[in-house]
């Protein structure tokens, strides 16, 4: 595998219901499932693993610096309890889309702001914690 096959120096965009927003970090980009293990009477070598219906959501965390522009006014409507039907995360390398993530049925469960400290010259940041029911990945190895 050549080192050029990796995705360094990438950029990404995040859209909520088709509206693009800028974020500095996306974390917890993952999905999970719940399982149950049972020991079968005739099979003592290993437990049997069964898929269970999912009872708890996965969480996505998005972080961004807050701006003092009119564009930030629209972002203020994303409060706890706000449902987001579709979240699209597009990863680009050299201007070409190389990977896309689709998250459906998201709901904002937590908003958090960075500490306010008048003695430091830091940027005011906000993070959103979004509960969702699953993530779909679309790899595009040739880029579009």
Q: How many domains does the chain have?
A: 1
* 38: confidence class by pLDDT, cuts 50, 70, 90: confident
Please classify residue 87 by burial: count the beta carbons closer than 10 Å to its beta carbon, then call 0-12 exposed, 13-18 middle and 19+ buried.
Answer: buried
DSSP bridge partners of 138: 100
Structural domain includes residue 10? yes
Residue 31's domain spans which residues? 3-139
* 33: confidence class by pLDDT, cuts 50, 70, 90: confident
Structural domain includes residue 15? yes
Q: What is residue 3's three-state secondary structure?
A: helix
Average pLDDT over residues 54-58: 87
Structural domain includes residue 144? no
pLDDT at 1 over 60: no
Q: Which of 129, 124, 128 is nearest to 114 (CA)?
A: 124
CATH number at residue 27: 2.30.110.20
Query: Is the full-model pTM beyond 0.85?
Result: no
Structural domain includes residue 75? yes
Structural domain includes residue 108? yes
pLDDT at 3 over 90: no
116, 136 Cβ separation under 8 angstroms: no
133, 60 Cβ separation under 8 angstroms: no
Structural domain includes residue 41? yes
């Amino acid at each position: 595998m050549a080192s050029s096959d990796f995705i360094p120096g990438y950029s990404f965009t995040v859209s909520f219901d088709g509206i693009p927003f800028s974020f500095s970090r996306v974390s917890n980009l993952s999905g999970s499932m719940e399982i149950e293990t049972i020991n079968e009477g005739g099979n003592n070598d290993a437990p049997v693993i069964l898929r269970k219906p999912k009872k708890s959501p996965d969480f996505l965390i998005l972080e961004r610096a807050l701006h003092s522009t009119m564009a930030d006014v629209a972002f203020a409507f994303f409060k706890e309890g706000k449902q987001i039907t579709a979240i699209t995360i597009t990863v680009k390398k050299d201007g070409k889309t190389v990977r896309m993530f689709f998250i459906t049925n998201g709901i904002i469960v937590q908003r958090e702001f960075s500490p306010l400290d008048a003695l430091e010259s830091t940027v005011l940041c906000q993070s959103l914690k979004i509960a969702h029911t699953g993530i779909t990945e679309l790899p595009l190895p040739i880029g579009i």
